[in-house]
Structure 1
């Protein structure tokens, strides 16, 4: 919505520069998520190559996996959801433009094709994520509307495959540490995912989507998130042990998640949607702490 740009100075600047129509397409790529995706993707690259990573394949991998794949995934999601309230990484979203479905489909197709310019394991992981993006958002399958399946596809796509894709662009074979850490991130996304849904329960209910949080309820979803965080850190510990290194720095990561989850579990009944949304962003902060902890612990 054009009027909504007034409350966001940076958005208003780019809207004047690009025009409202082009800006609507850009906003639905949700570029505010790109730094998070970039960090999680480059975690795999840095753990594989350290500072010896090569610029050209790294930049191409970023374009394919973050800008085209992630941007296209979020845009095709917006094309079908037609949200009116805040959505993840985008407050006061503009109305999805007329050709957003065609635009997002083109981005996903380009991602799938360009991925084959990089090592085959990366190309196959990336192509699998393209397929999952379509299955997640597009009717009649639309896995995001099916409780349990929505969680599974996000755990695999964002949690498991993103660091593996970052590793794969280096051409180095996967080792035990990165495989265990990536499975840990699959479970860690089971911690984050309910946080992304709690404040959108009213919107999802209006559309008829039966998301995980709607089916389980907020309290049980947060309890699931806590259990998943503990399992994730057990897997991270196994990854660290595969390299014979000390485990104690993982306590910083676990403490960050407990600091988000325990107050939320204790007080969620009295929280407004806005506070639940703020909780999600605190969860993203905890995710960043985990990425940094494992970067230090597993550095090659």
Structure 2
């Protein structure tokens, strides 16, 4: 990567570019929900803006202000941060905004809103992360609903009227519900460091077992809502959704049983495995959903 020869290895690590894989399902949901053909250049450009610029810049900005010494999402042993990391985050955010504006001014506006929310999450002058319910809602809304809108606008540039259509805003709402269920699980191994830093995350408030119970409840509701939504689109999708996600449930419950015996099992590696399995299953499903909705894609196989 050209950027990596200009900045230090520590900064490259804090960008956590591979972590973007876990966020890819929301982009693919935006691609799959509407039967509109996407120009290849828009598809590639929107994907790169989000996954190689926006998300890594957000990771870098948060890492700079968090100054974590323990494991964080996608990085088991984070190196010390420097001003270079902040400058890199600012530069990548600016590049993302400029490229997004070329695709659509509304895309750039939504991307700016995401960036500001992400920065408010960790910046010491606001630090939404200190407030368990506010940070939970903000993360769910912006990583779910706003990201679906943002991705859809980048892919199609249809403007606000189309974003307000049920075909777009309903799955966007469901994506937020799903993320609000899984979000506390991403914090379950960071309780000690969050407590020391004074960040009262929702997972810390719930406790380790409470986090698992909360995720079970919200994930069940979100799954039922998605099944109902997909049934209206295609009954086969409604059947496929829980089947494709079954590995997530299998791993989650096995992990839960281990945690009941030993709370130390709620660690970084187990959390990252859950994230990987969940992201992979959702990627497979949304690709399947897109292929069913876009018959012209069948010719690729």
TM, length-normalised to structure 1: 0.83
Is 2:146 aligned against 1:156?
A: no
Unaligned runs of 5+ in 1: 1-13
Task: Work out whether residues 177 and 243 of structure 1, in 8 Å CA contact, stay in contact via their aligned partners in 2.
Answer: no
- Listed one character per residue, the Cα deviations across residues 175-210 of structure 1 (whole Å, up to 9, x for unaligned) are 534432222221221232122111111111121111
Match of 2:277 among 281, 285, 297: 285
Alignment of 1:259-298 (within 5 A): 259-269=250-260, 270-272=262-264, 275=267, 277-297=269-289
SS of residue matched to 1:89: coil
Find the counterpart in structure 1 of residue 169 from structure 2. Answer: 179
Between 80-89 and 35-44, report the one with greater CA deviation.
Answer: 35-44
Between 23-32 and 228-237, report the one with greater CA deviation.
Answer: 228-237
In structure 1, C-alpha distance between the alignment counterparts of 2:272 and 2:184, rounded to whole Å: 9
**Which of 1 and 2 has higher RCO (CA within 8 Å, sep 6+)?**
2
In structure 1, C-alpha distance between the alignment counterparts of 2:106 and 2:247, rounded to whole Å: 33
- Listed one character per residue, the Cα deviations across residues 252-271 of structure 1 (whole Å, up to 9, x for unaligned) are 14533322332333332404
Is 2:224 aligned against 1:234?
A: yes
In structure 2, C-alpha distance between the alignment counterparts of 1:253 and 1:101, rounded to whole Å: 39
Find the counterpart in structure 1 of residue 73 from structure 2. Answer: 88
Instruction: Note closer, same or farther for the CA distance 1:127–1:242 as it changes in structure 2 (3 Å cut).
Output: farther
Find the counterpart in structure 1 of residue 27 from structure 2. Answer: 41
Task: Work out whether residues 16 and 59 of structure 2, in 8 Å CA contact, stay in contact via their aligned partners in 1.
Answer: yes
Unaligned runs of 5+ in 2: 294-301
Aligned length: 283
Alignment of 1:30-179 (within 5 A): 30-48=16-34, 52-169=37-154, 170-172=156-158, 173-174=162-163, 175-179=165-169
Instruction: Note closer, same or farther for the CA distance 1:87–1:107 as it changes in structure 2 (3 Å cut).
Output: same
TM, length-normalised to structure 2: 0.83
In structure 1, C-alpha distance between the alignment counterparts of 2:81 and 2:60, rounded to whole Å: 9
Find the counterpart in structure 1 of residue 233 from structure 2. Answer: 243
SS of residue matched to 2:15: coil
Between 198-207 and 187-196, report the one with greater CA deviation.
Answer: 187-196
Task: Work out whether residues 121 and 168 of structure 1, in 8 Å CA contact, stay in contact via their aligned partners in 2.
Answer: yes
